[in-house]
Amino acid sequence: MNQEKATFTPPEAATCPTPTTKANFFIALTPKQVTEHYPQLTESEGVLANWRTQKKGPKYYKVGNKILYRPTDIEDYMFSCPVLTIDSVR
């Protein structure tokens, strides 16, 4: 009898979810990357540092001595306080 061994063939291309897609991995941005990717939030790392000491701003994570932000947390913070106008509530 000729027995063949089963072999594993990995997929040719894996799709990477966008930063706002929830997945089983953690996409993290440093404060510098936050200012580069989200300049409409702030263009200063110092502002992010001040917000952290004042317990304001988007959620962040402290891993060892590094400060990290998830893109979903940045976007949630940015869009959490809409200004409603007369035309937007009609």
In which residue ranges of the chain is pLDDT below 50?
A: 9-17, 24
**If you write DSSP's letter for every residue of 23-89 in order, what string do you get?**
-SS---B-HHHHHHH-TTT-S-HHHHHHHHHTT-SS--EEETTEEEB-HHHHHHHHTSS----TTT-
Rounded distance between C-alpha atoms, residue 8 and residue 4, angstroms: 13
pLDDT digit string (tens) for 21-44? 555 466 899 999 999 999 999 999
**Per-residue model confidence (pLDDT) at position 60:** 97
